[in-house]
Structure 1
Amino acid sequence: MDLSDARHPFAIRDFRCFWTARLCSTLAQNAMVIVIGWQVYDISRQTMGLKQAALQLGLIGLAQFAPLFALVLVTGWTADRVDRRLIARLCIALQLLCAATLGWFSFEGGMTLGVLFAVAVLLGVARAFSMPAQSALAPNLVPPALLPRAVATTAIAGRVGGIAGPAMGGYLYAVAPHAPYFVGSALLAGSLLSMMLIRPITRTGIDGSRNPWRQMVEGLGYVFHNKLVLGAISLDLFAVLLGGATAMLPIFARDILHVGPAGLGHLRAAPAVGAMAIALWFSWAPLSRGVGVKMLAAVGIFGVATIGFGLSRWFPLSLACLAVLGAADMFSVYVRQSLIQLSTPNEMRGRVGAVSTLFISASNELGEAESGFLAALIGPVAAVVAGGAGAIAITLLWARWFPSLRKAENFEASAGR
């Protein structure tokens, strides 16, 4: 089938394999992440107070972020020089090893903070190499006209994993501490198999005779000189960095809302429910007008929902706020990823993707660390509310400092800038 004749990304065989691999891996990752967070907090609370245990949650986020920060130049350059399918396969295999290791320690009853932190670092290394490679691989599987739909469709896999994974992890952990890790291992094996089925792709290489370090830095230079891309990436970075309510979910589940590990699974899944609704909509009806202004509005709504969650003491209201938060975040992700992928030449996508990965992870893992540290200082509720207010302030500042974001009318015109 000629790719140019495809009317939807699912009509393309290799994209279906890619989507399946992402679905299986995100299910496993989200199931494991919620259990890792719960085990870190639960083990810490056996010997520490609430604020000290919150600090451990911050540190586990920092442990996952450190490899992405240290390896950002290398991972992007690797994604532009090495077969992106091979990188993705090796990263999934490393995650599979991590899941099996955690499952074994949980099964034997020997889980410790040291093991959890060591595996968190390895998972950070896997993500550091995997995310730039996979973000650069997806545009090679579909024609440019289908890329916005492919972004939204790929996000569906991530959000399905975000919905089912945490709930699955919470329920499996209630059955046995090792169960979520062993199920995760099986899912990662399925992900690896699906990635193996993607056929060779034609991609533009980078000049092997040029200085590798200079090539690595080119990704940073491209981002910082393209004000539209820089504004979109940095907006998400600072908004989510400040509004990292999800890092506090174990605290809210255990000590504020009193809903236990099963309730934690629902809390963790709620943002993905809202995000999936937006992703499903955009996979069939891509956004066509006012993309920049609407992205800014979505980030503002993200901040308002974060404040609502922090103030809520009623479990259904907390779930609703998290769902709105997730929907607003997905809206922003959809616009940002479409702008970046359409604006970046194929031979630069790995390096630009690595920079984007660093920003995304800074807003997630480093945001978790920031939230944990702030919660240790002023308490979890005040930390979440302050973070939401900060996200709103960032939105107003970025609307002023990056006028190209406000003026971005549609993806095609913006990509041509």
Structure 2
Amino acid sequence: MKKTILTGILSLTYFLSFSTYAANNHDDYTLEQVVVFSRHGLRAPLASPTSTLGKITPNQWPQWDTPASYLTTRGGALESYFGHYFSEWLADNKLLTADKCPNEKDVYIYTNSLQRTIATGQFFIVGAFPGCIFPIVHKEKLGQMDPLFFPVIRDDSVEFKQAAIASINQNANVNGITGLNKKLNNAYQNMAKIIDYQKSTNCINDKQCDFVALPTELIIEKGKEPGITGPLRTGTSIADAFILQYYEGVPLKKVAWGKIKDEQQFKQLVAIKENYNTVLFGSPIVAKHVAANLVNYINQAFANNESTTKFTLLVGHDSNIASLFSTMQIQSYHLPNQFETTPIGGKVVFQKWRDNRSGEHLMKIEYFYQSTEQIRNLSPLNRNNPPQKVTLTMTNCPTNEKGFCSFSTFKQVMDGIIK
């Protein structure tokens, strides 16, 4: 990989959807409540010499400073930087007070019960409210998925399985998963060359020597996440490992064993992972099913009462965001300076505002995220170096020129999803 890799898609164009300091640098609006859904921070990949991925390449996967899937040391630092920025943003918008520990009833941190999600919440608190003590709420034993964050199938009927598989195929391609695999054929071939698949244990011992032809099957089973076998699933795990290496600051000559030579090649590999997440968790029927608990939780968090928590942080996974966006009908969006649509550590920020002139309540949804170079360079976030921000739009809750949609309409849409 050359030093110039990704410069085209990761140009340092400065992108902000509002002002640097606050969403509104005047007194026309008041921020009343924020609910954030965050993907966990930078973690170690699932690839290791003894893992399933260890059998698909003769090359040695690198060792990391934490066990597979755990938040890395760099991931913790990056999350604390994000927390620091949020403390400034919340103070600038007068939701919380600067340089003072918030009241415990004003801040609520709730994470999935995996190490990487819990640790993300812990490091966020360290950056946002240093010296303050806040509980990190997780409701299951360490390593066990919380139902709120577990995008699991709960219906074992034949009718649902058939509808879910049809929805996934329709979302994948006009010719279903088969058509998507054909579309990604060049990416799969490129992946096979990078991992030297012909010399892998899979090929030599198991005689599965055609990476593109790995058996593909959609899996919809009660109690499990929607799944798929074949090159899309395996390619996603490999691409994920390469992306995480890049984020972790691994020297370019060592990312993917130095076999990715240009940005186009990298984009091609990332497309495998992007399609996997969108196809499996963004298919309408599956998404509405697996995101039901999360949609209900966010909707209830915005219930009108005096005891409402001012700032709520939920920490889960990219699969949660994909299903949430599909269910809420978030319109197509682009994240400048990133090659992922649900980047590591990225935060979906739901903001309830009041128009001080009319008294109307408004909803604004933004994606706060670190650019790829901010992650790779371990860049501190603050007012002078903020995260990237993109305003999101719900199809059924149109926004004005400032990115606001009617809060009452937002609630109606969310209520309709839950019914």
TM more than 0.5: no
Coarse TM-score class (shorter-chain normalised): under 0.3
Tell me the TM-score normalised to structure 1 length: 0.25
> Which one has the bigger strand percentage?
2
Instruction: Choose 1 or 2 for highest CA Rg.
Output: 2
> Which one has the bigger helix percentage?
1
Tell me the TM-score normalised to structure 2 length: 0.25
